[in-house]
Structure 1
């Protein structure tokens, strides 16, 4: 049995037209209603609706046997309400466009259709979360609990260039550095102040210098920063956010220690560093057996030879790999332009990649 492409495209159109920015929990809940409707029609079973701190997630436990394989997807996007007006759903010359089509509503619809192909899905869990794009604050524990019961996790995030599967992802740590100085009139007595903006400059340079002493591939990037409150006042406060990416947990721990050890340069200023690791690295070792199995499945279907890659962006697969469960990512759409005006999906790959997902699940369920 092969996937019904017109039916897949019809489901995808409905889902893309239902906007679902992570920041609006009410809108995400309405998106979950549609996801549940489509999934129920394809799988013959309604999901459990899990609302955690106001955010809606959906879970299908398929069959009655022990949990074996977790399929992981999300239905929230980065696109604000109204994006359909400027980026409407369209299929032109084999290219799908529309907000969230690539990241990752196509992958979600592929999961429904792949599972619908299988005669046996006993032991499969499909978890669809609603807050991945903002760091999965309400779904992380749920993801880790479901993964812990399984032998493998397949993540329906979009593929890499050329359809590459993702066998490694950098970990992510995020921090906020708050600097306190002392205000003073910038014209009358600036010497009585402690300039938090100047302290901020010292700290940004110190933070940037930490990259050079770390492992290859580590990035430590000061991002948004603010200092002061008025043009004629010595800044009493300043803040800077810091985005950190690295390939290993050892390096993630090093970066955390280095940032936590920063000290002020100006007498009278103080530092408060908050934050820490957000997602552990998805290291490649656990993915290689799954990648080999996917290669076998692709060959059996007559599909092009699969490739693999490591990427700097994180996904919920970081969480599952971080607790030691073999995880293979990038099994969703082939296309490009995630989070950008050029977001798109290539129709020509949809049937083969959905069949590949079904074949991979079949092999995992048949394994000892």
Structure 2
């Protein structure tokens, strides 16, 4: 039997919404805003050429103070047309389809929970990001601003396997090293040129050493440059993916990247960040918000643990700001970014129930967070 929340997830999944496709994102945004309005939210947008970020507000009911901020996203890694080879299906407890787990089921569960709330609650703010899958380059400022005024930030990314919360995240940065050289004939006058590709290779050897002795992952993901074998390359660049477990390592490595300078005369080297999610380290003294979420979950018979995660999300930004943050509140499942992506029917029901009691029972917290 199809429940309203499963029916909503079906509609969201059929509206394919890859990052950077404003037409596809706009179509899903219309559906999401209609459902959010029906659940009681007022809706607004922060417009961007690559896709609008959605901002929903539910006024407080007899619980004064700062709002709870929910963070989620409606973009996916799957291009339009993926449904043809990876169709929506329901088989017992398993729902499959592009984006069901990461993270359209989280949106469906939240809207179902809000629609079912009957009782006092604080103001609710929801930010639904359009470019989370590429590091939220246009959404980070919005996320920061909303987090600074929130009592607590609840992330609707997928949980750890089995459903445990995420209480910290590795820092994640995408950086580009751009090299400009001087073009010349590669055979007749090579000394008149400055080869951008050769310069880039030497810079990447430097980069390899930046993480030495540190728990830092540096991956060269893309290299592009040059044009013809008989022309000294005038342009080249490389895109790097970097992951950090410690904010000090993050600051050191990013500082060294920014300080790279050309080895060759007449070549120039410039490094810029394509996206940046700072390291969110768990509090060594304990996490009051995660403990509170677990306590509220226990009132409906749910047992929740929590631990840091290797992946990055918008909660990197809020956690690094020092705002009380937990993530992983979307339904359990598996296969994020994989052809076998799936979400649990029972998990959707569990998370809908949990979100409903968190909305009414998370705040106020005696003694604060």
Q: Structure 1 length as normaliser, TM-score?
A: 0.90
Contact residue 89 and residue 96 of structure 2 kept, 8 A: yes
**Structure 2 CA distance, aligned partners of 1:5 and 1:307?**
30
Deviations for 1:266-303, whole angstroms, at most 9, x for unmatched residues? 44432122227611222212981121122223333222
SS at match of 2:150: coil
| Corresponding position of 1:333 | 331
**Structure 2 CA distance, aligned partners of 1:5 and 1:158?**
22
CA spacing shift, 1:236–1:292, aligned 2, 3 Å:
same
The answer to which structure has the higher helix fraction is 1
**Structure 2 CA distance, aligned partners of 1:107 and 1:293?**
20
Candidates 285, 309, 312, aligned match of 1:311: 309
Correspondence 1:53 to 2:48: yes
| Corresponding position of 1:205 | 205
Q: Post-superposition shift, 1:261?
A: 2.2
Correspondence 1:143-292 to 2 at 5 A: 143-214=143-214, 216=215, 218-275=216-273, 278-285=276-283, 288-292=287-291
Contact residue 115 and residue 121 of structure 1 kept, 8 A: no
Q: Post-superposition shift, 1:341?
A: 0.9
SS at match of 1:262: coil
| Corresponding position of 2:94 | 95
Deviations for 1:159-185, whole angstroms, at most 9, x for unmatched residues? 122212111111222221112233333
**Structure 2 CA distance, aligned partners of 1:208 and 1:47?**
49
Deviations for 1:125-146, whole angstroms, at most 9, x for unmatched residues? 2222222223323332222222
| Corresponding position of 1:9 | 6
SS at match of 1:110: helix
SS at match of 2:144: helix
Deviations for 1:247-276, whole angstroms, at most 9, x for unmatched residues? 233222111111122233344432122227
| Corresponding position of 1:114 | 113
Contact residue 176 and residue 274 of structure 2 kept, 8 A: no
Deviations for 1:110-162, whole angstroms, at most 9, x for unmatched residues? 11122233223332222222222233233322222222221101011111222
**Structure 1 CA distance, aligned partners of 2:159 and 2:320?**
21
| Corresponding position of 1:127 | 127
SS at match of 1:284: coil
Unaligned runs of 5+ in 2: none
CA spacing shift, 1:60–1:93, aligned 2, 3 Å:
same
Q: Post-superposition shift, 1:308?
A: 2.2
SS at match of 1:163: coil
Q: Structure 2 length as normaliser, TM-score?
A: 0.90
Q: Post-superposition shift, 1:359?
A: 2.5
Deviations for 1:17-61, whole angstroms, at most 9, x for unmatched residues? 1111221212212211101122223x2x24322132343233332
Correspondence 1:36-75 to 2 at 5 A: 36-41=33-38, 43=39, 45-54=40-49, 55-64=51-60, 65-75=64-74
**Structure 1 CA distance, aligned partners of 2:186 and 2:217?**
36
CA spacing shift, 1:226–1:138, aligned 2, 3 Å:
closer
Q: Post-superposition shift, 1:322?
A: 2.6
Q: Post-superposition shift, 1:241?
A: 1.2
Deviations for 1:74-127, whole angstroms, at most 9, x for unmatched residues? 112121111111111111132111111111100011111222332233322222
Q: After the TM superposition, which of the residue ranges 284-293 and 233-242 deviates more from structure 2? A: 284-293
CA spacing shift, 1:267–1:137, aligned 2, 3 Å:
closer
Deviations for 1:1-28, whole angstroms, at most 9, x for unmatched residues? xxx9712111111111111122121221
Correspondence 1:34 to 2:31: yes
**Structure 2 CA distance, aligned partners of 1:289 and 1:20?**
35
Contact residue 173 and residue 252 of structure 1 kept, 8 A: no
CA spacing shift, 1:90–1:229, aligned 2, 3 Å:
same
CA spacing shift, 1:261–1:276, aligned 2, 3 Å:
farther
Contact residue 52 and residue 139 of structure 1 kept, 8 A: no
Deviations for 1:182-219, whole angstroms, at most 9, x for unmatched residues? 333333343443332222221112111111143x2x21
